[in-house]
Amino acid sequence: MNNHLHIVTLNVPYPPDYGGMIDSYYRIKTLHDLGVKVHLHCFEYGRTRSPELNRLCEIVHYYPRNTGFWYQFSRLPYIISSRRSVQLLDNLIKDQYPILFDGLHTTYYLNNAALSNRKKSVRVHNIEHKYYRTLARFESNLLKKIYFLFESIKLKRYENILDKANSILTVSVDEQIYFSKRYRKSIFIPSFHAYESVSILPGKGEYVLYHSDLSISENDKMVHLLIAHVFSKVSFPCIIAGRNPSKHLQTKVSCLENVSLIANPSADEMKELIANAQIHLLPVLENNGLKLKLLLALYGGRHCVVNDQMVDGTYLKEICHVANSYQEMVMEIQLIMIQPFTSEMIETRRQLLQTHYNNQINGHRMMEEVMSS
Rounded alpha-carbon distances, angstroms, from residue 220 to 187, 215, 245, 285, 326: 32, 7, 8, 11, 16
Position 350 pLDDT exceeds 60: yes
Q: Give phi and psi for 269, each to the nearest 5.
A: -60, -45
pLDDT value for 332: 96
Confidence of residue 291 (pLDDT cuts 50, 70, 90): confident
Q: pLDDT tens, 115-164?
A: 999 999 999 999 999 999 999 998 888 999 999 999 999 999 999 999 99
* Mean predicted confidence (pLDDT) in 22-49: 95
Q: pLDDT tens, 179-192?
A: 999 997 899 999 99
Q: Give phi and psi for 342, each to the nearest 5.
A: -95, 165
Confidence of residue 71 (pLDDT cuts 50, 70, 90): low
Position 230 pLDDT exceeds 80: yes
Q: Across-strand partners of 253? A: none
User: Among candidates 308, 260, 262, which has minimal Cα distance to 284?
Assistant: 308
Position 1 pLDDT exceeds 60: no
pLDDT value for 289: 63
Confirm if 259 and 238 have CB atoms less than 8 A apart.
Answer: yes
Check if 4-193+358-371 and 208-356 are the same fold: yes
Distance CA 162, CA 107 (A): 9
Q: pLDDT tens, 2-12?
A: 799 999 999 99
pLDDT value for 70: 67
Position 286 pLDDT exceeds 90: no
Distance CA 38, CA 18 (A): 22
For the chain, the average pLDDT equals 92
Give me the CATH code for the 208-356 domain, please. Answer: 3.40.50.2000
Position 69 pLDDT exceeds 90: no
* Mean predicted confidence (pLDDT) in 169-178: 91
pLDDT value for 44: 92
pLDDT value for 195: 87
Position 363 pLDDT exceeds 60: yes
pLDDT value for 20: 83
Side-chain half-sphere CA neighbours of 227 within 13 A: 22
Rounded percentage of the chain residues whose pLDDT exceeds 70: 98
Q: Which residue has better confidence, 166 or 314? A: 166
Position 290 pLDDT exceeds 90: no
Q: Where are the domains of the chain?
A: 4-193+358-371, 208-356
> Omega of the bond prior to 98 within 30 degrees of 0, cis?
no
Query: Does domain 4-193+358-371 bear CATH number 3.40.50.2000?
Result: yes
